[in-house]
Structure 1
Amino acid sequence: MSVQGREYAPTRRDCLGWAGLAAVSAAGSSMLLLPGFAQAGQVEEPLADSVRSILSGAIANKAPPVPEFSSMDKRLAHLRWLGAMSDRLKRRKPDFQTRIEFLQTVWYETKRAGLDTTMVMGLIQVESAFRKYAISPVGARGYMQIMPFWSRLIGDGDAGKLFNMQTNLRFGCVILRHYLETERGNTFMALGRYNGSRGRDTYPNAVYKAAKNWVHPDV
C-alpha cells in the first residue's frame, strides 16, 4: 500500500518524523458527557522543542485519507476489512456514508502513524463509544477524547477543531504514537499514559478487550 503515491510501510519516519522521538523520554450534534474511563485524560507534560516540532508537523500535514495500494490484492483486503467493520459498526453509526468515511479515516490515520488499527478501534470504543461529539467531565473531546491543551501545544490553539473527525483522529493517533515512543514500544504503558492512568491495568485491559470486537484477518 502507498500513501500519497509512495510505497508505504508504517515506520517512525513516515510522515511523522519519529526518529527524533526515540531518544526522548517524557517525565514520568449535542455533547455526550462521558463517565468512567473518560474522567481521566492525557496529562500535560513538558515537551522538548524537538518533540514539539515533530508532533506539530505531524498534525499540520493535512493529507486526505485516501490511500493508494501497490497491488489489487492489498486493495481487496482493505475493502474486505471495510465491509466487515461497516457491518459491525452499523448499530452505532446507522448512516452508511458517515460510517464509511469514519472507517476510512481511522484506517488511514492508524497506518500513517504506524499503529495497530484494531487496537485503536478498541480505544475509540472505550473512550467515546464512537460518539463524535463526546466530551468528558475533564474536557476531553471527540472520538479519541483529546485534551484541549494539545491544541495549544502542537496545534493552532483552536480546541473547537477537535470535534472535526479527521482532526480528532489525527491528534489521537499522533499522541498515541508519541506515548509509544516515550514508553519504548510498551503498549500497556502507552495506553495508560493516554488515559492518564499510567501503570494501572484497568484502562489498558478495557482497550484490549474492546479491540477483540474489531479483529479482522485483513488488518
Structure 2
Amino acid sequence: MRESQGFALSRRDCLGWAGAAVAGASGAAVWVMPGTARAGQVEEPLADSVRSALSGAIANKAPPEPEFESMEKRLAHLRWLGAMSDRLRRRKPDFQTRIEFLQTVWYESKRAGLDTTMVMGLIQVESAFRKFAISSVGARGYMQIMPFWSRLIGDGDAGKLFNMQTNLRFGCVILRHYLETERGNTFMALGRYNGSRGRDTYPNAVSRAAKNWVHPDA
C-alpha cells in the first residue's frame, strides 16, 4: 500500500481493519506527569476480531525504514525531517536520538494511516517528548500508553512500553482503533484516547500543539 505522499509499506505491514524525576525499574529516569489533562485510555471489551487485528498490528516488528516511490518524495521527507529536527532540538539535544525518534514517528504514523502532525501534537501534550514519562494513573512513555494494553494486545510485559518503537507503535495503533470506532471523527477519537470522550479540553490541546509541527511536506 502506498500513501499519497509516496510512503510505501508492504501488505503485511498495513493494519488489518477498515513533573518530578524518579528512578525507574531499569534505572532510567522516569518523569512523573501530572494527571490533570492526561486521564489515559479506558479499558473496554474488545471483539475477538478487533483484538486479533490489534495484536497482529502490534506484533509485526518491521523496522522503521520507509521506501519512497520517487526521489521527489524522498527529498520531501528529508525536508520534513530537517525542519522537525530543528524544532525539536531544545527538547532532544542529541542529534542521533532526535532523528531516530522522528523517523519512527513518521513510520508508525504513516503505517497506521494517521496524520503525522497530529501525532506529534499528541506526543507533545501527553509526554512533552519524554521517553520515560509516567502519569499519575500509570500511563507510560511518549504516547502515554496504559499498561492494560500490553495484556490485551501485547505479550503482557508493560515494561516494554518504555521502548521507543514499541510505545509509538502501540500509540498509533490504538489511536487508529479509536478513529475506526468513532467512524473517522478525530475529535471523539482523541477524547477516547485521553479517557475524556465528548469533552473538548484534550482535543483542543492536541490541535494547538499540532500547530508547532505543521510543515508542507508532512
| TM-score strictly above 0.5 | yes
C-alpha distance after superposition, 1:41-79 (max 9, x if no partner): 000000000000000000000100010111000000000
Number of the residue aligned with 1:214:
213
Aligned pair in 2 of structure 1 residues 195, 7: CA closer, same or farther (>3 Å)? closer
- 1:8 CA displacement: 3.2
The unaligned stretches of length 5 or more in structure 2 are 19-27
- 1:18 CA displacement: 1.2
Contact 1:2 1:68 (8 Å CA) reproduced: no
Number of the residue aligned with 1:23:
none
Number of the residue aligned with 1:67:
66
1:8-23 to 2 correspondences below 5 Å: 8=8, 15-19=14-18
- 1:91 CA displacement: 0.2
Number of the residue aligned with 1:25:
none
Number of the residue aligned with 2:151:
152
- 1:15 CA displacement: 1.5
Q: Distance in 2 between matches of 1:75 and 1:2?
A: 13
Number of the residue aligned with 1:117:
116
Number of the residue aligned with 2:195:
196
Number of the residue aligned with 1:87:
86
Give the TM-score normalised by structure 1. 0.90
The unaligned stretches of length 5 or more in structure 1 are 20-28
1:18 partner SS: coil
Q: Percent identity?
A: 87
C-alpha distance after superposition, 1:114-171 (max 9, x if no partner): 0000000000000000000000010000000000000000000000000000000000
Q: Distance in 1 between matches of 2:130 and 2:139?
A: 12
1:99-114 to 2 correspondences below 5 Å: 99-114=98-113
Number of the residue aligned with 2:24:
none
Number of the residue aligned with 1:37:
37
Number of the residue aligned with 2:180:
181
Q: Distance in 2 between matches of 1:64 and 1:42?
A: 26
Number of the residue aligned with 1:133:
132
Superposition misfits of 4+ residues, deviation over 4 angstroms: none
Give the TM-score normalised by structure 2. 0.91
Contact 2:105 2:168 (8 Å CA) reproduced: yes
Q: Aligned residues, how many?
A: 206
Q: Distance in 2 between matches of 1:7 and 1:127?
A: 26
Aligned pair in 2 of structure 1 residues 72, 102: CA closer, same or farther (>3 Å)? same
Q: Which amino acid aligns with 1:162?
A: L
- Calculate the aligned-residue CA RMSD, in Å: 2.0
